[in-house]
Structure 1
Amino acid sequence: MKNFKVLPLTIAVASSLAAMSSFAATDADVAALEARIAELETRTETLSVNVQEQNVLPADLEVPSGIIFSGYARYGAHYSDGDNRYVQVGSTGAAVGRLGNEANGGEVQLAKLFQQDNGAKWNVVFMVDDWNNDQWGSPGGVNLKKMYAGVTNVFESQPDLYIWGGRDFHQRPQQGINDYFWMSHDGQGAGFNNLNLGGAQLDMGFVGQVDSGDGGALGNDNGKYAITSKLHGIDAGIGNLDLYANYGFASDEADTDETAWQVGAVLGLGSSNRLILRYGDGADGSAFDLMEDAQIFYGSFEGNFAVSDNFIVDYLASYKDISGDSLIATGVDEDGNATGASFSKERSEYSFIVRPQYQWNEVHSTWLEAGYAMEDYDNGDEVTGWKVTLSQNISMGGLPWSRPMLRFYTTIGDVDKDVNSFDADGQLTRINDTFDTVTFGAMFEAWW
Structure 2
Amino acid sequence: MKFKLLSAAVALALSPMTVLAEAEADVNVNADLEEQVAKSQPIVLTPSNELEKGVIFSGYARYGLHYSDDINHYVGAEGQLAGNATGRLGNEGNGGEFQFAKAFQSDSGAIWDVVLMLENWWKYTSDLDSGETVSEYGDIALKKFYAGGTNVLASQPNAYIWAGRDFHQRPQQDLNDYFWMTHDGQGGGIYNLELGDAAKLDFSVVGQVDGPGDNGNYAFTSKLHSIGITDSINMSVLFNYGFENDQYDENGDRTNEDKISAYQVAAVFDQNWSQGRNQLIMRYADNTDTSTFNKVEDLTTLYVSLEGAVNFNESFSLGYLGAYHDYDAKSSDDNRTNYSGIVRPMYSWNETHSTWLEAGYSVVDYDQGGKNTAWKVTLSQNVTLNAFANSRPMLRFYATVGEADNQVRSNELLEAKQDTLALGAMFESWW
Is TM more than 0.5 here?
yes
Name the structure 2 match of 1:394.
383
> Secondary structure of 1:5's partner?
helix
Out of 260-269 and 386-395, give the one that drifted further.
Answer: 260-269
User: For 2:46 and 2:180, how far apart are their aligned partners in 1?
Assistant: 26
Name the structure 2 match of 1:411.
400
Name the structure 2 match of 1:291.
296
Q: Deviation of residue 291 (structure 1)?
A: 1.1
Percent identity between the two aligned chains: 51
Alignment of 1:240-319 (within 5 A): 240-255=234-249, 256=254, 257-271=259-273, 272-319=277-324
User: For 2:33 and 2:7, how far apart are their aligned partners in 1?
Assistant: 6
Q: Deviation of residue 176 (structure 1)?
A: 0.5
C-alpha contact 1:372 1:385 (8 A) present in aligned 2: yes
Structure 2 letter corresponding to 1:71 = G
User: For 1:47 and 1:300, how far apart are their aligned partners in 2?
Assistant: 23
User: For 2:144 and 2:177, how far apart are their aligned partners in 1?
Assistant: 21
Name the structure 2 match of 1:176.
174
Q: Deviation of residue 290 (structure 1)?
A: 1.2
Alignment of 1:350-369 (within 5 A): 350-369=339-358
Query: Given the alignment, which residue of 208, 225, 233 partners 1:232?
Result: 225
User: For 1:81 and 1:356, how far apart are their aligned partners in 2?
Assistant: 28
Unaligned runs of 5+ in 2: 10-22, 126-133
> Secondary structure of 1:293's partner?
strand
Unaligned runs of 5+ in 1: 8-37, 212-217, 329-343, 423-428
User: For 1:182 and 1:174, how far apart are their aligned partners in 2?
Assistant: 6
> Secondary structure of 1:361's partner?
coil
> Secondary structure of 1:419's partner?
coil
Q: Deviation of residue 44 (structure 1)?
A: 8.0
For residues 128-172 of structure 1, give each alpha carbon's deviation from its aligned partner in whole angstroms, at most 9, with x where no partner exists.
Answer: 000133529745220000000000001222111000000000000
Q: Deviation of residue 83 (structure 1)?
A: 2.7
C-alpha contact 1:5 1:47 (8 A) present in aligned 2: no
Q: Deviation of residue 254 (structure 1)?
A: 1.4
> Secondary structure of 2:288's partner?
coil
Q: Deviation of residue 269 (structure 1)?
A: 2.2
Structure 2 letter corresponding to 1:205 = S
User: Per the alignment, do residues 222 and 132 of structure 1 end up closer, same or farther by CA in structure 2, a change over 3 Å counting?
Assistant: farther
User: Per the alignment, do residues 281 and 47 of structure 1 end up closer, same or farther by CA in structure 2, a change over 3 Å counting?
Assistant: closer
**RMSD in angstroms over aligned alpha carbons?**
2.3
Alignment of 1:34-113 (within 5 A): 41-42=26-27, 50=37, 52-89=40-77, 90-113=80-103
C-alpha contact 1:419 1:432 (8 A) present in aligned 2: no
Please tell me whether residue 223 in structure 1 is matched to residue 216 in structure 2: yes
For residues 266-316 of structure 1, give each alpha carbon's deviation from its aligned partner in whole angstroms, at most 9, with x where no partner exists.
Answer: 101234111011000011111111111100000000101122220000000
Name the structure 2 match of 1:14.
none
User: Per the alignment, do residues 156 and 85 of structure 1 end up closer, same or farther by CA in structure 2, a change over 3 Å counting?
Assistant: same
Alignment of 1:79-228 (within 5 A): 79-89=67-77, 90-133=80-123, 135=125, 138=136, 140-198=138-196, 199-211=198-210, 218-228=211-221
User: For 1:54 and 1:6, how far apart are their aligned partners in 2?
Assistant: 13
User: For 2:344 and 2:158, how far apart are their aligned partners in 1?
Assistant: 38
For residues 9-66 of structure 1, give each alpha carbon's deviation from its aligned partner in whole angstroms, at most 9, with x where no partner exists.
Answer: xxxxxxxxxxxxxxxxxxxxxxxxxxxxx99812688988639321100110102111
> Secondary structure of 2:295's partner?
coil
Structure 1 letter corresponding to 2:199 = A
C-alpha contact 1:5 1:44 (8 A) present in aligned 2: no
Out of 135-144 and 406-415, give the one that drifted further.
Answer: 135-144
User: For 2:313 and 2:49, how far apart are their aligned partners in 1?
Assistant: 36
Name the structure 2 match of 1:377.
366
Q: How many residues align?
A: 389
Higher Rg of the two aligned structures: 1
> Secondary structure of 1:4's partner?
helix
> Secondary structure of 1:312's partner?
strand
For residues 399-426 of structure 1, give each alpha carbon's deviation from its aligned partner in whole angstroms, at most 9, with x where no partner exists.
Answer: 111110000000000100112657xxxx
User: For 1:203 and 1:192, how far apart are their aligned partners in 2?
Assistant: 6
Question: Under a length normalisation based on structure 2, what TM-score does the superposition of the two structures give?
Answer: 0.86
Structure 2 letter corresponding to 1:109 = Q
For residues 308-363 of structure 1, give each alpha carbon's deviation from its aligned partner in whole angstroms, at most 9, with x where no partner exists.
Answer: 2200000000001111225x2xxxxxxxxxxxxxxx11111001000000001110
Structure number with the higher helix fraction is 1
For residues 76-115 of structure 1, give each alpha carbon's deviation from its aligned partner in whole angstroms, at most 9, with x where no partner exists.
Answer: 0001122300012302111000000000000000000000
Alignment of 1:331-346 (within 5 A): 344-346=333-335
Name the structure 2 match of 1:33.
none
User: For 1:171 and 1:377, how far apart are their aligned partners in 2?
Assistant: 30
C-alpha contact 1:206 1:228 (8 A) present in aligned 2: yes
Structure 1 letter corresponding to 2:311 = A
Q: Using CA pairs below 8 Å that are at least 6 residues apart, which structure has the higher relative contact order?
A: 2
Structure 1 letter corresponding to 2:144 = K
User: Per the alignment, do residues 383 and 204 of structure 1 end up closer, same or farther by CA in structure 2, a change over 3 Å counting?
Assistant: same
> Secondary structure of 1:118's partner?
coil
